[in-house]
Structure 1
Amino acid sequence: MGAGLLAALMHPLYAQRTLTGIVQDPQGAAIPFAVVELPARKLGVQANDEGLFSFPLPAGLTPADSLTFSALGYERRRVAVPAEAAATLRLAALPVSLSEVVVRPGVAEWVGFKGVPKSRGGYRQTILLREKNTGWQIARRCQPTADGYLTAVRFFVNPSHDCGKTGLRAPFRVRVYAADGPGGSPGTDLLTTSVLAAATNRGWITVDMNRYTISFPQRGVYVAMEWLHTSDEFLCRSISYNPESHQKMEQVNYEQSLASALVPTAEAHTWYHTIDYGWVSFNRRFAEQSQILDAAIQARSQP
């Protein structure tokens, strides 16, 4: 047996392999949509609604590499990369502290997106398979005219070009973040409970937020749509053609679209997030660089 092969057998962390497993709470219940990451390699996957994950690990890992597990409402945990092919990991729940809500006289206002949503398309995630999900969120900063609290959020949902109403009805998760991340990006989770919503038809879908007692300061918060794989019933197939070879290609999609509109660059406050790269400001410009896409997300503030 060659020395190289022997070394690979003795040190399985060095070889390319797939780690499978489940993320659970201390009582053994599955934690849905937990995130498994290799932070130093900028790689990660999201578990499904049953807490199950499948993570293709890169070759060349060393004992110094570690995995980070996190989930909404649970403490982040860092562990050494398991040498085994399967792993079970348990996360402790974060303590829940409810902020005091003081209702003052004043008129509630919708803030955030101000454009006219396009009738088709928008932001979307394709190829969202049960065994392949690297996370995708679109967030829009919403700023009220005075301090208050968050009473509702809404998203303008479109059917996609490929999946039509099949994709339109796929559930997504509502996320709310403080504007305290690097460079003013989304930062601290303000909504620490998984809140799922789904559209039935094209248009605005409103989610009541009163029960979560989230402060809505004048500096604003970010409201995000997070694409999730919840069921294969929302899968659909589409046909496309390679523009150079004209070869027909079949693609499996799982998607709904979050509508958008072109607005002046100064009025756009949209960011996107992947597990691999974190939060990035959406800065693709159109119309001779004077306009930019803005996500159709709004939030309602009650003083």
Structure 2
Amino acid sequence: MSPIRWPGRKMPDTRGESAPVALPTPLLRPAAAAGPDGLAGWHRTARVPVPRWPGAEEPDRDSEAFQRAALNTARWSREGDVITSSQEPPGSGLGGYLVSDAAYDDFEFEIDVWPDWPADTGILVRATPDGTRGFQILLDHRKSGNIGGFFGNGIGSFHAIAFTLDAERDGDTVRLIAEDPATTLEPMTADKPALLAETATVSEFLAAWNPSGWNRVSIRCEGTYPVITTWINGVRIARLDTGTLEHPHYDREAVAKLLGERGHIALEVHDHDARMGVDRWGADAVVRWRNPRITEL
């Protein structure tokens, strides 16, 4: 797919005809209206295990690991216009979500992000009120990660991605590169790109990504079985049609019943796991966010 530039704030309409775009609404109210962490309009939740898809095995809620995760919501703080997220305490391996109080059906969402390396984060849309289940737009800024693709959080565990990433370091500077498959922590299999309706190449993504500062992430989500499109700095990266998505553990009717036509937006701090550990989220890593804005369609 050739990269498509996004002039101004109006994204290409994936339905093939121009649609009017309403004035965007900030998702953060002034700090004076917020609580002690400055995060009005959002609520923090724990990143606990959930069934991998509707009807799958339930997690053991009495386990020590579940109880430990349930008591933690990660660290979210606001200073000026910037939200900073990290594990709490740093390096603990415990994650969490920051979830919008409001729910949305069809919308365009924009936010600036500046992640450290490694930091495994993402944005869930049509998410449940606790943020744990929904369609995740990946911002996996770590080895074997993907940015702009999709994962089915608790709705099928599908990976819809076309490339994986690695990094080269020069002191504190990190430059993203295409991953060498021989060194991967999470193999790219043929079924993953096949799930996408459209995709950019890794070269197109790397040309768009700013390795040392802010990146504008833009998401369009529309439909009962949503078509979700992502842009990075105005370059279209991927499109997922969940109405035609075929995956062994994805049932569109069951997912639609679980999530409904309106859902929340959730920002993620990932936890550690036995397979990746600190390669998933560095001990001192943070992710910075700013300027979240939504336009309802």
Larger RCO, structure (CA 8 Å, separation 6 or more): 2
TM range (shorter): under 0.3
TM-score, with normalisation over the residues of structure 1?
A: 0.25
- TM-score, with length taken from structure 2: 0.25
Higher strand share: 1
